[in-house]
Amino acid sequence: MKNKNVVGVYATTLKDGTPSYRASITFRGKHIALGSYDSEKMAGKIYEEASGILSDQSYSISSYSSKMNIPFDKYVSLVNYRDKGMYISTPIYLENRFFKYYLSPTYSLTFDIEDLFYYSSHKIMKRGSHLFVADYGSQLSVLQRYGIKSYAVAGRDYQFVNDDPTDLRYENIIILNRYRGVMQFAEKGFIRYKAVIHVKSNYVVGKYNSESEAAIAYNKAADILIKNGIKKNFQLNYVEDLSPSQYADIYLKLKISPKIYELR
């Protein structure tokens, strides 16, 4: 029930009987939940801060302070709703044709507006330099949405046009190498592809004119090594642009380094 002494605070109990206090606020006709807290005093402070944020334009994302009681994610949601008129539960601030997803007051990611639906319902988490979301019970890398594999290396397999790794708009990401063991390189003014496989150390499988040939050459080398008794779980490339018959034809004709056949 609503607490008569503190505006915006509702007293309730948890399943085990422990008292709990829910804070909420209504702004422009929308009821916004502010969370549940152990004390009436804290819930009241959260309500007061939320009221101030929604009514005072001077509060911006950079204004957030660790001295505030309101969680940062909720703070961003309130500022965005006040300024843009759309309430989003994740810490997103809308801009013109793109949006910012804030992980902290000083660290944000930039996305195309086409990704708004996905990230408005998926919370981004950061562990070290790894960015991921929880999706269907699994941890999925943010970069996977761009076709960037988990083993990819920035600068070698993909690059950012403006050199800003926080700018994740599609036009800012260039994928150089889509396949495992394949590296793009320039030779006499032409782009070529090198297949490299690792068995204790790196071995060059061969150099090829197309990315798909290099990917298939890697697979062929892995098959040979397994037949030769190398006990390693090689992750093979799936070349989706080719039919099974086209793949088989290229596989049979491809030449690979004789050293691969010698490895045991």
Tell me the domain boundaries of the chain: 1-70, 88-176, 182-262
Q: What is the pTM of this model?
A: 0.81
DSSP 52: H
Q: Which residues pair with 184 in a beta bridge?
A: 193
DSSP 9-46: EEEEE-TTS-EEEEEEEEETTEEEEEEEESSHHHHHHH
Containing 125, the helix (H) or strand (E) segment is strand 124-127
SS3 165: coil
Q: What is d(CA 58, CA 65) in angstroms, rounded to the nearest whole number? A: 14
1-70 — its CATH code? 3.30.730
Provide the residue-wise pLDDT of the chain in tens; the chain has 264 residues.
Answer: 445 456 789 898 888 888 899 999 999 999 999 999 999 999 999 999 999 999 999 999 999 999 999 999 999 999 999 999 999 999 999 999 999 999 999 999 999 999 999 999 999 999 988 899 988 778 899 998 888 888 888 998 999 999 999 999 999 999 988 899 999 999 988 999 999 999 989 999 999 999 999 999 999 999 999 999 999 999 999 998 899 999 999 999 999 999 999 998
